[in-house]
Amino acid sequence: MRWLRFVVGLLIALTLHSLLDSFYPNALGFFDPYVILVVYYSMGGNILGAIIAGVAAGFVQDAFSLAVFGLHAFSLTVCAYAVAYINSRLVLRGTLFFGACLAGAVIVNELVMYILVNILLRQRIEMFEQEMLVKTVFTTLFGMVVYQLLLLFLREEPIEAVQRPTGW
């Protein structure tokens, strides 16, 4: 069931990506639906599933953007691992915790992209401008609205927690 939700979410993120690109070509500079999807899936705490979800969403984003292939896949995998690891230890639930994880993931995603572009392409890109702040705010607010809509329509907690193994 979780993978079905992920595939549907990936199709929705791809549709948003295509629609935003057709209306405004640089829209993903201000909003990232793939980060929302990866954080939503990673909040369950399943580290291996989160890594696979980050790689899949990143490769889809790389395939439909003009970036170096694998760049988004690596950065989304780092975000997915961090969110899944934190949630496997703390089991965070609720809209505010989802928003906090989402804001942190957007910032980590941008930092990883900045580092990789500087190392691999040897290009200097501006990092801490208004674009990062706007992207963090828009992505976080839209993600929290989506989370609330899922909570409303599913009538239960939309994030299924993975049972942690007990003992050693």
Q: Check whether 167 has a pLDDT greater than 70.
A: no
Q: Check whether 98 has a pLDDT greater than 70.
A: yes
Q: How confident is the model at residue 156 (pLDDT cuts 50, 70, 90)?
A: low
Question: Max Cα separation, the chain?
Answer: 53
Average pLDDT, the chain: 84
Decide if 43 contacts 99 (C-beta within 8 A). no
pLDDT at res. 45: 79
| Residue type, position 55, single letter | V
pLDDT at res. 104: 94
Q: Check whether 73 has a pLDDT greater than 90.
A: yes
Q: Check whether 130 has a pLDDT greater than 80.
A: no
Q: Check whether 134 has a pLDDT greater than 80.
A: yes
Distance CA 4, CA 166 (A): 28
What the block records as the tokens of 65 is 């953007």
Distance CA 43, CA 68 (A): 28
Q: Check whether 168 has a pLDDT greater than 70.
A: no
Taking alpha carbons only, the member of 126, 87, 91 closest to residue 110 is: 126
Summarised one tens digit per residue, pLDDT across range 17-65 is: 888 888 887 777 788 899 999 999 998 878 999 999 999 999 999 888 8
pLDDT at res. 20: 86
pLDDT at res. 54: 94
